[in-house]
Amino acid sequence: MKYLIYLIWVISFLIYLRASYLAQGKVGKKIFVGETFQLGQALSAILFLGLIALSFAAQIQLLFYLNILNLVYTFLFYLQPTPRTTRTVLKLFLLTNIVFAALYIFQIFHG
């Protein structure tokens, strides 16, 4: 179950990145005809909500708080999808998720 939660986190992370790059106009080719950054925002928000519930049920406190922050970033991205604010929110999103990954790896090795 725990590995499934982390797999969903990686997928939602990648969807958020793709949506952010779509909003900034940095994507050369769309995956399918109707792909928009709003679709990526909606999918990532749904996945983050699901991850909040799953991590609460699995008692993974670090992932629970991370996904609350990711959901906040998704809503900030939704409110102002201009290239400048999208870049700023993306930097915060990346920094938060990198810190989470580092804490998780530290937790694995130092139990």
State the Cα–Cα distance between residues 55 and 63, nearest whole angstrom: 6
What Cα–Cα distance (Å) separates residue 31 from each residue in 12, 18, 20, 78, 89?
16, 10, 14, 21, 23
Task: Spell out the per-residue pLDDT of the chain, length 111, in tens.
Answer: 888 999 999 999 999 999 988 888 888 888 888 888 889 899 999 999 999 999 999 999 999 999 999 999 999 877 766 778 888 899 999 999 999 999 988 988 886
Q: How far, in Å, are 13, 35, 95, 97 from residue 102 at the CA level?
A: 15, 32, 11, 9
pLDDT at residue number 28: 82
Domain residue ranges in the chain: 2-110
Residue 27 backbone class (left: φ over 0; alpha: ψ -120 to 50; beta: rest): beta
Query: What is the pLDDT, as a whole number, of residue 7?
Result: 94
Cβ–Cβ < 8 Å for 77, 41: yes
**pTM, two decimal places:** 0.89
Q: What is the pLDDT of residue 8?
A: 95
